[in-house]
Structure 1
């Protein structure tokens, strides 16, 4: 596991209500909020939810950003954690994914995340 994978997992862990889950066995790690996935880690990548327009822009801008592997390619990006993105860029993508998923949760769940 690379340093960028480890730091990304730690960053996700610090999101309000974030929970680590292993729904497919010992690997891969899935990060959830309110029972919904917002990040999916493999050995060298992270798959994140993304607004479709932003997803296309990120794929054009960064060689490390590809359509979501085994996911709805319109709404998910797989980001190779090869060091080509800065921590700030990666954290911004994680924030966007978390915010999209959290915004779709019920009002009661969203309010509980804020406390």
Structure 2
């Protein structure tokens, strides 16, 4: 299982970024931002599964990432990669971290989001 701490270690090591917690109402929501301009490339949240159309009563950690629209339908599988929660569903996806395969493509998707949102 991939955890939010795994994500935070990865982005610090690879992009030099640390999570930012800008929401006083949701102190556990962490934004991943570019150092240069503060633009978001990821958002880690803990939400109830019902908000995602999933079963369960306990909150789950999710990661929202930017993704090219042409890949969204291919990646979304209804299990661990879903339409974006609380973001533009055409350009963003949601990964359910506890269901994500740690040996899968998660870090490649983070890299893709990082470069899609990077200023030119």
Using the size of structure 2 for normalisation, the TM-score is 0.74
Query: CA, structure 1 residues 38+96, in 2 after alignment: closer, same or farther (shift >3 Å)?
Result: same
Match of 2:65 among 23, 30, 48: 48
What is the distance in 2 between the residues matched to 1:91 and 1:11?
8
Which structure has more helix as a fraction of its residues? 1
Runs of 4+ residues over 6 Å off in structure 1? none
The CA RMSD measured in Å over matched residues stands at 1.9
Gaps spanning 5+ residues in structure 1: where?
Answer: 107-115
**Across the two proteins, how many residue pairs are aligned to each other?**
102
1:88 to partner: Cα distance? 4.0
Distance 2:39 2:71 in 1: 21
Q: Please report the TM-score for the alignment, with normalisation by the length of structure 1.
A: 0.77
C-alpha deviations, 1:66-88, integer Å up to 9, x for none?
Answer: 11101000001010012442344
- Uncovered stretches (5+) of structure 2, i.e. residues with no partner: 47-60
